[in-house]
Amino acid sequence: MKKINVKSSRHPYSIWVGKGVSGMAGKALKSLGFEGKVFILTQRKPAKHHLAKVVRSLKAAGYPGVAYEVPDGEKAKSLEVLRGVYAALLAKGFERRDLLLALGGGVVGDLGGFAAATYLRGIKFVNAGTTLLAQVDSSIGGKTGINLAEGKNLAGAFYPPSLVLSDTQVLETLPEPELRASYAEVVKYGMIRDRQLFALLERENERALLRSPRILEDVVTRSAGIKAGVVSRDEFETRGERMILNYGHTFGHGFEKVSGYRMFHGDAVSLGMACAARLAVRMGMLDPFVELRQLAVLRKLGLPVLLERKRFDAARVVGAMMHDKKKSAGKLRFVLPESIGSVTVRQDIPLSLVKDVIREMGAR
């Protein structure tokens, strides 16, 4: 088991990574000196496979617990479902001294974190992420929230967990497409900060997809370590560093929007990183050989690198990217690679070049 420490303005917390750490939930809460009861927020699939172990561990440590399931999918991040969570917390007599533990993917984590941040003005929160995306990304950094009818993640709070439990064993039951798509974020960490992680993916992509326990633990530990470092230094996205986590995402959000959100986030990020590298080569900032290495590793992980002509129109994608920015009254900012493990942020890219690059990647 590995431990990673994260700083935040409220309190520091640790991330436990390893095989079987969800079965150490009770012990972990004891080590924090926690004494209340535990509300486990979950969904059908993670509950079916992984709830019993968590409950057993809490019981063994003497913690009373109740489990509450929310519907599957992104629609659980809604005001309506949140209202149900508050009602259940009240009905079960949860108080300020108690704790909410999210057992699920990014959806359960975001919803659970926001419920914990706001119920009785804040109760303790533990994030036990059960998807690769949750373990490498969403469970770290304190962003919580729900969607509104007007758009995604429009209501929320920065609210750090007291503990993150990333049990790599629970990834065994994750559907293959979810696993594959989430590797895009791992490639992202390699490109922005970690040449060794990138090299690991080049060498071990097959075993990574076959969920070798050793590789999963390495992948999660390294990725979580990078995100932990970045958010420890730039908790509220005010110092600029957190921006580098958006590598591949400026383009990616454009693709997601144009597709009507009918694609995996990871697939959009993969396409976005392919475009960002192409753009960096066109700007003369990146060795074309590095672009090829990134393309190769994305392909080997089963991630898309070419835009379907039928699906994507370059002008519409750029329009979607700009729309995001209009709301924040800013300019399009691109995180561009300079080499493997190093990126830079640029605000001076001509839109005509952005459009050219999207066409070069296959769009019409």
Ligand X SMILES: NC(=O)c1ccc[n+]([C@@H]2O[C@H](COP(=O)([O-])OP(=O)(O)OC[C@H]3O[C@@H](n4cnc5c(N)ncnc54)[C@H](O)[C@@H]3O)[C@@H](O)[C@H]2O)c1
The residues that touch ligand X, with contacts defined as CB under 6 A, are 43, 45-46, 49, 72-74, 77, 104-108, 110, 130-131, 133-134, 137-138, 141, 143, 153, 170, 173-174, 178
Q: Between 170 and 307, name the residue whose CB sits nearer to ligand X.
A: 170
Least Å distance between CB 147 and ligand X? 8
Kind of pairing between the strands at 99-104 and 38-43: parallel
Residue 143 catalytic? yes
3-class DSSP assignment, residue 62: coil
Is the torsion defined by CA of 8, 214, 130, 242 positive or negative? positive
Residue 3 catalytic? no
Residue 96 catalytic? no
Least Å distance between CB 338 and ligand X? 25
Residue 172 catalytic? no
Residue 153 catalytic? no
Q: Between 23 and 104, name the residue whose CB sits nearer to ligand X.
A: 104
- In order of 59, 79, 106, 150, 191, the CA distances from 153 in angstroms are 34, 11, 12, 10, 26
Residue 323 catalytic? no
Please name the amino acid found at residue 75.
Answer: K
Residue 246 catalytic? yes
- In order of 240, 261, 278, 305, 318, the CA distances from 337 in angstroms are 16, 26, 10, 16, 20
Containing H/E element for 158?
strand 151-158
Least Å distance between CB 36 and ligand X? 24
Q: Between 119 and 158, name the residue whose CB sits nearer to ligand X.
A: 158
Least Å distance between CB 91 and ligand X? 24
Residue 5 catalytic? no
Contact 14, 3 (CB under 8 A): yes
Q: Between 31 and 173, name the residue whose CB sits nearer to ligand X.
A: 173
Please name the amino acid found at residue 180.
Answer: R
Neighbours of 211 (CB within 10 A): 17
Q: Between 154 and 351, name the residue whose CB sits nearer to ligand X.
A: 154
Least Å distance between CB 136 and ligand X? 9
Q: Which residues are catalytic?
A: 121, 143, 185, 227, 237, 242, 246, 249, 253, 265
